[in-house]
Each structure stands twice: as structure tokens, then as C-alpha cells.
Amino acid sequence: MKQHSSGEGASGGGAPPTVADKPTKGLADVVAASTALSDIDGKAGRLFYRGYDIHDLAGRATFEETAYLLQRGKLPDREGLEAYGAELVRGRELGALVAANIGEIAEKQKPMEALRSLVSLSGADDPDKDSIAPEANLGKAARLTAQQPLLVARYHAARTGGSVPDPDPSLSIAANFLLQVTGRTPAQREVDIFDTCLVLHADHTMNASTFAARVCAATLSDMHSAIVAAIGTLKGPLHGGANEQVMKTLESISPTGVAQAVRDKLAAGEKIMGFGHRVYKTEDPRATHLRRMSQELAESTGDDTYFRMSKEMEEVVFETKGLYPNVDFYAASVYHYLGIPTDLFTPVFSISRMSGWTAHVIEQHADNRLIRPDSEYIGERDQKWKPIEER
Ligand SMILES: CC(=O)SCCNC(=O)CCNC(=O)[C@H](O)C(C)(C)COP(=O)(O)OP(=O)(O)OC[C@H]1O[C@@H](n2cnc3c(N)ncnc32)[C@H](O)[C@@H]1OP(=O)(O)O
Ligand SMILES: O=C([O-])CC(=O)C(=O)O
């Protein structure tokens, strides 16, 4: 019940109920939009993109096919995929504003802040920047998906004083990115694993960053503005920023003292990053794949320290709190084994989620209504105005 309708304000005696007392705090279980993009069964631990089980897509669909599926509504046939691939290659050219500013941005901004700025700048150079028509949105979705890995790679090169090779049009997004960021030609199995990571992170119903994108898009603002809102939202450690924090935790504790360190953190009331989820009440299906890939890379690199530590953390957190790892937990050790710098883990998440965010903006614009929830007033009432000298 809203405070106004009860007629009981702060001055009306008795503490009024607040949203904090309600099960919907943080909009838990509130259905905020209809979508045909992804679906989660949180009790069974299942995830679907446009009706396809994530377990069927992981290791089979490429990231490019997945992006097409989300943005264009169906899995592409060979011709459709080739045409989409060519569109991605054409669309990844970065504009003049990005080129002119990336050096200074790389000096002054951390990776997710930099991406927020760079995507905003690239919007100014987009040929369809003033349109939210369906065709313009489809083109922008492809360009944003193609440009994001290049923005991350060029940012990394700018801050390290290096240079990146231009993307090879015959290689996938995953292969080009690994090559550009690690500076070495990745093994095919590493490319396949990274590509699967991109597929696993592509979309996830009404997660916080997607919601932010849809709220922005629902004002009939443009796609780049919505993506800037999403990037700022993904950055936080309760959302996409958790993958970087997982790696920092692994690096900060002794491999022989994992159980004690985790128990101490929990006893001190700390959250263990990479665990818990608003929707999954069982294993996150993406974590199943990421755990397996982390183990495989640990074995192939001959250094299983972070995988063993992760497994032990998982056991202790489950025993102590009954919490399961989420997508961010094993992604951390996978990216580490692939040679990706820790502070680029969340940018990597954004490379993948760009496909989902842009598809949600298209969906929002296609059947729009302003998103404007209500709030519950819990402040003072009937305040009497006093001139400044009397306060
Ligand atoms: C891609 C993604 O965004 S996946 C999520 C990435 N985020 C993280 O990994 C950060 C750590 N996890 C969390 O903070 C939470 O589990 C969230 C944000 C993911 C979900 O949040 P909510 O659904 O709001 O759950 P909330 O934070 O209220 O937690 C419920 C209870 O579980 C506890 N809890 C939840 N997650 C954790 C955790 N990782 N470590 C320790 N305790 C936890 C809370 O302390 C709380 O306990 P209490 O009831 O005794 O106060
Ligand atoms: O759905 C969520 O709340 C967070 C998440 O796992 C994701 O965005 O992939």
C-alpha cells in the first residue's frame, strides 16, 4: 500500500511501511518488460536465447551467430551469416572522434569509464545517429557489436604504449580480440573457448544493465545513449564488475589458506564476489560451462592454482552460505588463463553483452511505452517554510 493512500505520513504517528520492508525491494520478481530474447528458469537452472537452450548453443554456435540470433530474430543460414560477417567487418571502422581522443581517455580513465566515453564518441560519428527507425537500429546494433572489441583493444594499446594489428577480416571476433590483446596468435582451442564465453554472456533477461538500456531507449532516446547507460551499469561490482573482483580475491589469498580466508570474509559479513544470483536458485547453467573450460585451460597451461582455489572457494561458500557460483566466478580464471589483463574482464563482458543490449533496444523501440515506475515517499511531511536566518 502506498503511504499517500493510507493517509499516514511521518507526522501521522507510527512508522509507515517502507519499500525496504517489501519483497519487491530492488524490483525483485517484478516483471518490467516483455521480451522474446531470453528466458530463465531460475529453479531448474536453465537459460534460453530465443528458445534455444544455452547448453545447445555453448560450444556449437559462434558469437557472430548468437548476435545475429538475438538482433535479427533467428539463427542465420550460411548466406545470412556471411552477409552479417561482412557487415561487421565494414562496421567496425572507428570514427574520427574516437581516434582523436582515445589517447587522452586511455591516460585518464579506467577501462569501463573509457568505454562509456568511447561509445558515446562513436555515436557522434555514426551515420544513422539521428534515427531510431528499425533499419537504422539494425545497422547500429551490428556496428556497436563490431566496434566494442576494437575499442577495448585500441584502449589497451593506447595505455600500454603499444599498437594493435588491424583486425583480420578472415578471423572471428574472438580470434581477433585475443590476438590484439595478448599480442600472440592464440591456439584454436583458446579461440573456441573464448568464443563460447562470448556466447554465454550475450543476454540474460532483465539484468540491471539491460534494464538500464531499456529505460533509456523507452524515452525514445537513441541506441548509443542506451548503450552508454548499460555500460555504466555493467561496471558495478554487484553486476559485471564482479568478474574482476573475483580475480582480485583469488590473487589476494594464499593458495593454501583458501577455506580459512573465505570463512573469515563471510564471518566479517563480506560478500564473496562471483556468488549468488537474483534469479538462479541453483547452479547458473553458464557456470557449468565456465568451470569446465577453466579446468581444461588449467590442465593445458600446466598451472591449475587458480582453478583449484576456485573449486575450494566454491565448496566453502556452498557449505557456509548455500550459494552457487554465478557467471562471473569461473569466467575470471578462464580469462586469466587466456592471458587477458584482469582489468579488461568486465570490458570483455561488455563485448558479449553488446549483442543482447542492442537487441533489447530494438525490441523496446518496436513496441514502446515509457518506463516510469512509482516510488513510495518516506520523507517528512507538512514542513513549515522558514527564512534562511531562522533555520
Ligand atoms: C553478471 C552478474 O551480474 S551475476 C552477479 C554478479 N555479482 C556478484 O557476484 C556480487 C556478489 N553477489 C551479490 O552481491 C548478490 O548475490 C547479487 C547482487 C548477485 C544478488 O543480489 P540479491 O538478489 O539482491 O541478494 P542479496 O544481496 O539481498 O543477498 C541475499 C542474502 O544472501 C547473501 N549473499 C548474497 N550474495 C552473497 C555473496 N556473494 N557472498 C555472501 N553473501 C551473499 C546476502 O548477504 C544476503 O544475506 P542476508 O539475507 O543474511 O542479509
Ligand atoms: O541476470 C542478472 O541479474 C545478472 C546476470 O547474471 C547477467 O547479467 O548475466
Pocket test for ligand 2, best of 206, 231, 239 (most atoms within 8 A of CB): 239
Our answer on whether the CB atom of 248 is closer than 6 Å to any ligand 2 atom is: no
Q: What is the predicted pLDDT for the residue at 15?
A: 59
Q: Percentages helix, strand, coil for the chain, rounded to the nearest 5?
A: 60, 5, 35
Closest alpha carbon to 167 in 151, 185, 180, 184: 180
Our answer on whether the CB atom of 327 is closer than 6 Å to any ligand 2 atom is: yes
Q: What is the predicted pLDDT for the residue at 162?
A: 85
Q: Which of 195, 328, 336, 360 is catalytic?
A: 328
* For ligand 2, atom 4: residue with the closest CA: 207
Q: Is 7 left (phi over 0), alpha (psi -120 to 50) or beta?
A: left
Q: What is the ipTM of this complex?
A: 0.99
Which residues neighbour 92 within 8 Å (Cβ) at sequence distance 6 or greater? 143, 146, 147, 149, 150, 167
Closest approach atom of ligand 1 to CA 275: 39
Q: What is the predicted pLDDT for the residue at 194?
A: 99
Q: Which residue type occupies 363?
A: E
Q: What is the predicted pLDDT for the residue at 362?
A: 98
Q: Are 316 and 258 in contact (CB under 8 A)?
A: yes
Q: What is the 3-state secondary structure (H, E, C) of 173-235?
A: HHHHHHHHHHCCCCCHHHHHHHHHHHHHCCCCCCCHHHHHHHHHHCCCCCHHHHHHHHHHHHC
Residue recorded with cell 558495478: 236
For residue 365, what is its C-alpha cell?
523501440
Closest alpha carbon to 230 in 251, 248, 210, 258: 210
d(CA 93, CA 98): 10
Closest approach atom of ligand 1 to CA 329: 9
Give SS3 for 298: helix
d(CA 223, CA 71): 13
Whole-number average pLDDT of the chain: 94
145 φ, ψ to 5°?
-65, -40
Closest alpha carbon to 326 in 318, 70, 211, 195: 318
Q: What is the predicted pLDDT for the residue at 246?
A: 98
What distance in angstroms lies between residue 278's CA and the mean position of ligand 2's atoms?
Answer: 8
The 10 Å Cβ neighbour count of residue 34 is 7
List, in sequence order, every residue forming a beta bridge with 39; answer none if it has no partner.
48
Say how many Å lie between the first and final Cα of the chain, rounded: 34
Note if 328 is an active site residue: yes
What's the pLDDT tens digit per position in 38-71? 999 999 999 999 999 999 999 999 999 999 999 9
Closest approach atom of ligand 2 to CA 209: 8
Which segments of the chain have a pLDDT < 70?
1-23
Q: What is the predicted pLDDT for the residue at 19?
A: 61
Pocket test for ligand 2, best of 41, 48, 204 (most atoms within 8 A of CB): 204
Note if 4 is an active site residue: no
Q: Are 365 and 217 in contact (CB under 8 A)?
A: yes
What distance in angstroms lies between residue 277's CA and the mean position of ligand 1's atoms?
Answer: 6
Closest approach atom of ligand 1 to CA 246: 9
For residue 339, what is its C-alpha cell?
592471458
Give SS3 for 53: strand
What's the pLDDT tens digit per position in 82-126? 999 999 999 999 999 999 999 999 999 999 999 999 999 999 999
Cα-Cα-Cα-Cα dihedral sign, residues 319, 321, 327, 333: negative
Q: Which domains, from first to last, does the chain contain?
A: 38-238+342-366 (1.10.580.10), 242-337 (1.10.230.10)
Q: Are 150 and 95 in contact (CB under 8 A)?
A: no
Q: What is the predicted pLDDT for the residue at 1?
A: 29
Label residues 348-385 b or e (16+ Cβ within 10 Å = b). Answer: bbbbbbbbbbbbbbbbbbeeeeeeeeeeeeeeeeeeee
Helix (H) or strand (E) holding 259: helix 258-267
d(CA 54, CA 69): 13
What distance in angstroms lies between residue 69's CA and the mean position of ligand 2's atoms?
Answer: 19
Q: What is the predicted pLDDT for the residue at 6?
A: 34
What distance in angstroms lies between residue 386's CA and the mean position of ligand 2's atoms?
Answer: 48
